[in-house]
Amino acid sequence: MSLLIIFICIVALVLLITLAKVNAFLAFLVVSLLAGLFLGIPLTSVTKSVQKGIGDTLGSLVSVIILGAMLGKLVAESGAAQRIATTLMKAFGTKYIQWALMITGFIIGIPLFYNVGFVLMVPLIFSVSYQYNLPAVYTGLPMLASLSVTHGFLPPHPAPAALVTQFHANMGITLLYGICIAVPAIIIAGPIFAKTLKKINAKPLKTFQQKTITEDKLPGVLNSFVTSLLPVALLIITATLPMIYPESEKAKTISALLGDPMIVMLIAISVATFSLGISTGMNMQRIMEIYADAARDISMILLIIAGAGAFKQVLTDSGISDTIAATLQKQALPPLLMAWLIAAVIRVCIGSATVAGLTAASIIAPMMATTHANPNLMVLSIGAGSLLFSHVNDGGFWLFKEYFNLSIKDTIRSWSFMETIVSIIGLIGVLLINMII
Q: What 3-state DSSP class applies to 426? A: helix
For residue 206, what pLDDT band results from cuts at 50, 70 and 90? Answer: low
Identify the CA nearest to 315 among candidates 349, 279, 364, 255: 364
Tell me what the mean pLDDT of segment 261-265 comes to. Answer: 85
DSSP secondary structure code for residue 1 in this structure = -
Q: What are phi and psi of 210, to 5 degrees?
A: -100, 160
Q: Which residue has the higher pLDDT, 209 or 163?
A: 163
Pairwise CA distance, residues 74 & 434, whole Å: 37
Q: Which residue has the higher pLDDT, 237 or 170?
A: 170
The total number of residues shown for the chain amounts to: 437
Lowest mean pLDDT among 144-158, 257-271, 392-406: 392-406
C-alpha angle 432/356/195, rounded to 5°? 60
Summarised one tens digit per residue, pLDDT across range 321-377 is: 556 656 655 667 888 999 999 889 888 877 778 888 888 888 888 778 777 899 999
Q: Are 224 and 83 in contact (CB under 8 A)?
A: yes
Lowest mean pLDDT among 206-210, 372-376, 427-431: 206-210
The answer, yes or no, to whether the previous bond of 156 is cis (omega within 30 of 0) is yes
Pairwise CA distance, residues 143 & 330, whole Å: 41
C-alpha to C-alpha distances, 125 to 88, 102, 267, nearest whole angstrom: 13, 11, 32
Q: Which residue has the higher pLDDT, 126 or 123?
A: 126
Where helices occur in 245-283 by DSSP H, the ranges are: 249-258, 261-272
For residue 388, what pLDDT band results from cuts at 50, 70 and 90? Answer: very high
Pairwise CA distance, residues 91 & 430, whole Å: 32
Judged by phi (left if over 0) then psi (alpha if -120 to 50, else beta), residue 75 lies in: alpha
Lowest mean pLDDT among 52-61, 159-168, 278-287, 313-322: 313-322
Looking at residue 173, its pLDDT comes to: 92
Query: Is residue 131 classed exposed, middle or buried when 0-12, 13-18 and 19+ CB atoms within 10 A define those classes?
Result: exposed
Identify the CA nearest to 104 among candidates 142, 73, 72, 71: 142
Percent of the chain with pLDDT over 70: 93
Looking at residue 128, its pLDDT comes to: 79
Distance between alpha carbon 337 and the CA centroid of its chain, in Å? 19
For residue 187, what pLDDT band results from cuts at 50, 70 and 90? Answer: very high
